[in-house]
Amino acid sequence: MNKKALSAESRRKMVLSVVLAVICVIYVLPVAAVVINSFKLNTFVKTDTFALPFGDMWAGMSNFVTGMTFGNYPFLDSVKYSVIITILSTALILLCTSMAAWYIARVNSAFCKLVYFLCVFSMVVPFQMVMYTLSKTADTLRLNTPWTIPIVYLGFGAGLAIFMFVGFVKSIPLEIEEAAAIDGCGPLRTYFSVVLPMLKPTMISVGILEIMWVWNDYLLPSLVLNITKYRTIPIHIQYLKGSYGTVDLGATMALILLSIIPVIVFYLTCQKHIIAGVAAGAVKG
């Protein structure tokens, strides 16, 4: 390769780096605005949105205290319900969809193919098309509590999970399961003893994606849950309103910061598993 080609390649990489850096700044800017304004007095949030909270703007921890004590609904209860819903929903999605994907990949009948394509198709159906019917159905079936709403999340989270699990199961040699059957393992024992340990990369990846989705979700809990009794963190933040619709933006930013810190830490800790799981589940097969 001559010097002219090397120079062109270097310029191409430099332009690509600049473009990606600009995209990163665009994505990080809203998070930075939340952090800055969570320590700023409410009167300065609108007028000096991107100014650093120094001097008269500094609010200290008062925004966090105001947000956590606002109204007659405890913020810690919202945290509790968010944790319960996120853990139960993710566990249910991982268990049910991985078993369904194993069956679909191994049986490979016309019915299984139909179920698979329906699950994949569900990923492109907008939630707004079914939300009113879903709300009525959830009330009728008593799915409007933190302990039953994971069933609703299972329906909406199954599409992506089954898509990824099926791709990974197809890459597992069938001879391993046949050897387990020869040793006397039934379907359940084969799944839990043989298949499930090999699904670990995709299991971690799907689990991380589902946790981030359920934790940050506002629309589904607001439609399904009885919000007079049960509020998740996003719903609690939405209720930070005073008289005549006024909103304490400083307290709102403070609670938003508290809600995104666990997700950011969790994602940064597990991001390598997301890349590995997506590559293993969506490319193979």
Q: Where in the chain is the domain with CATH 1.10.3720.10?
A: 73-282
What does the block give as tokens for 30? 């809203």
Q: Report the percentage of the chain scoring pLDDT > 90.
A: 17
Amino acid at 96: C
Mean pLDDT calculated for residue range 105-129:
86
Q: Is 142 helix (H, G, I), strand (E, B) or coil?
A: coil
pLDDT on residue 180:
84
Which of the residue ranges 7-11, 127-131, 170-174 would you say has the lowest mean pLDDT?
7-11
Which of the residue ranges 59-73, 138-152, 270-284 would you say has the lowest mean pLDDT?
270-284
Mean pLDDT calculated for residue range 17-29:
89
Task: Report the run of H or E that residue 86 belongs to, with start and end.
Answer: helix 75-107
Q: Does the model's pTM come out above 0.75?
A: yes
pLDDT on residue 244:
55
* Residue 96: burial class (beta carbons within 10 Å; 0-12, 13-18, 19+): middle
CB 148 within 8 A of CB 171: no
Q: Return the bridge partners of 241, or none.
A: 247
What's domain 73-282's architecture? Orthogonal Bundle (1.10)
- Asked whether the predicted pLDDT for residue 277 surpasses 80, the reply is no
pLDDT on residue 88:
95
CB 45 within 8 A of CB 250: yes
Q: What is the DSSP letter of 109?
A: -
Q: CA-to-CA distance for 70 and 252, rounded, in angstroms?
A: 10
Residues 147, 153, 68, 73, CA torsion sign: negative
pLDDT tens profile 155-214: 888 888 998 899 888 888 888 888 888 888 888 888 888 888 888 888 888 888 899 899
Q: Which residue did the predictor score with more confidence, 91 or 283?
A: 91
CB 229 within 8 A of CB 49: no
Count CB-CB contacts under 10 A for residue 169.
24
Q: Which residue did the predictor score with more confidence, 234 or 50?
A: 234
Task: Report the 3 state secondary structure along 197-252.
Answer: HHCHHHHHHHHHHHHHHHHHCCHHHHHHCCCCCCCCHHHHHHCCECHHHCECHHHH
pLDDT on residue 182:
85
Cα–Cα distances in angstroms (integers) from residue 232 to residues 137, 164, 239, in the given order? 21, 28, 11
pLDDT on residue 284:
46
Confidence bin at 228 (pLDDT 50/70/90): confident
Cα–Cα distances in angstroms (integers) from residue 123 to residues 118, 155, 176, in the given order? 9, 11, 32
Confidence bin at 247 (pLDDT 50/70/90): confident
Q: Which residue did the predictor score with more confidence, 231 or 240?
A: 231
Confidence bin at 279 (pLDDT 50/70/90): low
Amino acid at 273: H
Tracing tokens 């629309």 back to the chain, one arrives at 219
| Angle made by CA atoms 43, 48, 52, in degrees to the nearest 5 | 105
Q: What's the half-sphere exposure (Cβ side, CA atoms, 13 Å) at 44?
A: 19
pLDDT on residue 93:
94
What does the block give as tokens for 82? 């968010």
pLDDT on residue 150:
93
